Amino acid sequence: MLYLDSKPLEEINPRDADDVPTLVVEVVSPSDRMRDVLRRVEQYHRRGVPVVWVVEPDSRSLHVYRPNEFPKVLDETDEIDG
């Protein structure tokens, strides 16, 4: 998770955070089911997270999810910007 607030690391507890992160990165593991990953993406969006990246190591791809937009799929040759 990326927070744009500048707080000392000791003060950040992701489990109790009231602030909404600017970015959440999900790395898909072999045991993850895509429907579960997409459900988490939707939960992040409902909470107000504006950007979720889903990294798929096996296919070496990155899916960029923003609310009310089609996902953007990038591969290892693409440049990631914010």
pLDDT of residue 36: 96
Of 21 and 8, the structure prediction assigns the larger pLDDT to: 21
pLDDT of residue 12: 65
The structure's pTM equals: 0.79
Which stretches of 1-82 are DSSP H helices? 34-47
pLDDT of residue 21: 84
pLDDT above 70 covers what percent of the chain? 78
Average pLDDT over every residue of 42-66: 95
C-alpha span between 61 and 31 (Å, rounded): 17
CB neighbours of 67 closer than 8 A, spacing ≥ 6? 45, 50
Q: How far is CA 76 from CA 11, 63, 82, in A?
A: 35, 12, 16
